[in-house]
Amino acid sequence: MSKKINTTQYPDIPVLSIFEDGVEYTVLQPIAELIGLDWDEQLAAIKTDPVFNGHLRRVPLKPTGKTEYVSCLPVVYYMGWFMRFNPNDFTGDDRKRVIVMQYGMLEGLSELLAQ
């Protein structure tokens, strides 16, 4: 099993991706917490969502030598999950982060479709 870890840096938002067996997965918990969401509530919502639940994976990482499992979605499903958030439901820096990340996702999608 081949695994590579990458971090994409939005202005102040690190997004951790894990490439495993040719699939790019995005680690969800740090993103949810960074924009002020309760991770347990988000995980429960993902697990009951008919689209996202089938793609949720727990991927092992060893950041400190001890194996930790992180919840991930393939990048396209992560984008779908994140685009469900309405920036108007957030305030202050959290609202700015949601807007920046959604713009970045849409720009990336636009570039991909133009290829």
Q: If you write DSSP's letter for every residue of 46-91 in order, what string do you get?
A: HHH-TTTGGG-EEEEE-TTSS-EEEEEEEHHHHHHHHHTS-GGG--
Class of domain 3-114 as given by CATH: alpha beta
Q: How much of the chain is in helix, strand and coil states, percent to nearest 5?
A: 45, 30, 25
Q: What 3-state class would DSSP assign to 3?
A: strand
Tell me, what's the pLDDT at 64? 64
Q: How far apart are the first and last CA of the chain?
A: 30
Q: Once rounded to an integer, what is the mean pLDDT over residues 90-98?
A: 94
- Would you list the domain boundaries of the chain? 3-114
Q: Once rounded to an integer, what is the mean pLDDT over residues 21-28?
A: 89
Global pTM?
0.82
Q: Once rounded to an integer, what is the mean pLDDT over residues 41-58?
A: 95
Question: Phi-psi category of 13—alpha, beta or left, where left has phi over 0 and alpha has psi -120 to 50?
Answer: beta
One-letter amino acid of 75: V
